Amino acid sequence: GALVLVLSKTQHALVGICLIAGLGLPLVRRRMGLGSAGAAFAGGLLLLAMAASFVIVPGYYRVMGSYNVIFYEILPHSKDVGADLADLHLDDSYRPYIGTHSFDPASGMQHREFIEAFSKRTSNVGLLGYYASHPAITLRVLKNALGQAGRQRAAMGNFDASSGLPDYAESSAFSLWSGAKRSLFEGKGGRYLWASFALFALCGFAVIRDAKQGTGIAGTGLLAGLLAAVALVEMLASGLADVLDVTRHYYLFGALWDCLLMLLVLSAIGRAQRD
């Protein structure tokens, strides 16, 4: 299951770090029935899968997300385009592409020569360095992404064309919880971000508390901590590595968010029953 997740899309590859860390925990190994050698073998496979996830993708795909972030999100909002271009290791010849995304006919990503030259100048690692040196921009990009993710499901509709309903019509059946989250977080990226950090902090507290006191449902604190780490990686990768189709990219994060909340509730119920 871990291999399938890591290899499913480059976006999910970094989750492997959390899974490998989990294999290093004795309690996790005991519950999985793995010895140290088995866990080391599994961790090695995951590490290879992570590397393969980045290597096997086409060259244009490796920089497509970076292109979208740079030209469709960062530079259109820049107060000093020249300085930001320099910080991104680009020059003024890239100015005409500001405001375009990789699927735009005017995009440089439509030309192989551009992709080859652009790939030599930037990468996801280079973009990470830019984010690290521009925390205010990083926060703005992340909040904007989470504001879109607050919708919970992509605006693609869920009826067959034969239904006769308008394009993109959506059913509201079985959507009480996602509808509540949407009303709280859609277009409110800052609120979604701080609510997520609060949830992660509660999971961290659950790990510490269960390590000291135990819990009524064994292992929920540790599981919450591991899943919180996975959710954090998904939140950052989905919001900072690309800026197109963000709501869909955040689907796994939204599911993990719900699982974490349920785990905390289960943990509280377990303690109440124990007491």
Looking at residue 193, its pLDDT comes to 97
Q: What is the pLDDT along the chain (275 residues), one digit of tens a residue?
A: 899 999 998 889 999 999 999 898 888 888 888 899 999 999 999 999 999 998 888 888 889 999 999 999 999 999 999 999 999 999 999 999 999 999 999 999 999 999 999 999 988 888 999 999 999 999 999 999 999 999 998 888 888 888 899 988 988 888 899 999 999 999 999 999 999 999 999 999 888 887 776 555 566 788 889 999 999 999 999 999 999 999 999 999 999 999 999 988 888 887 777 76
Assign residue 100 a region: left if phi > 0, alpha if psi is -120 to 50, beta otherwise? beta
Q: What pLDDT, in 10s, does the model give residues 128-162? A: 999 999 999 999 999 999 999 999 988 888 888 88
Cβ pair 107, 157 in contact under 8 A: no
- Residue 58's SS3 state is coil
Looking at residue 134, its pLDDT comes to 96
Shortest CA distance to 20 belongs to which of 200, 233, 215, 207? 233
Shortest CA distance to 85 belongs to which of 126, 142, 124? 126
CA atoms of 34 and 70, how far apart (whole Å): 44
Looking at residue 215, its pLDDT comes to 52
Cβ pair 241, 256 in contact under 8 A: no
CA atoms of 153 and 172, how far apart (whole Å): 12
Looking at residue 157, its pLDDT comes to 85
Looking at residue 117, its pLDDT comes to 94
- Residue 153's SS3 state is coil
Q: What pLDDT, in 10s, does the model give residues 96-127? A: 999 999 999 999 999 999 999 999 998 888 89
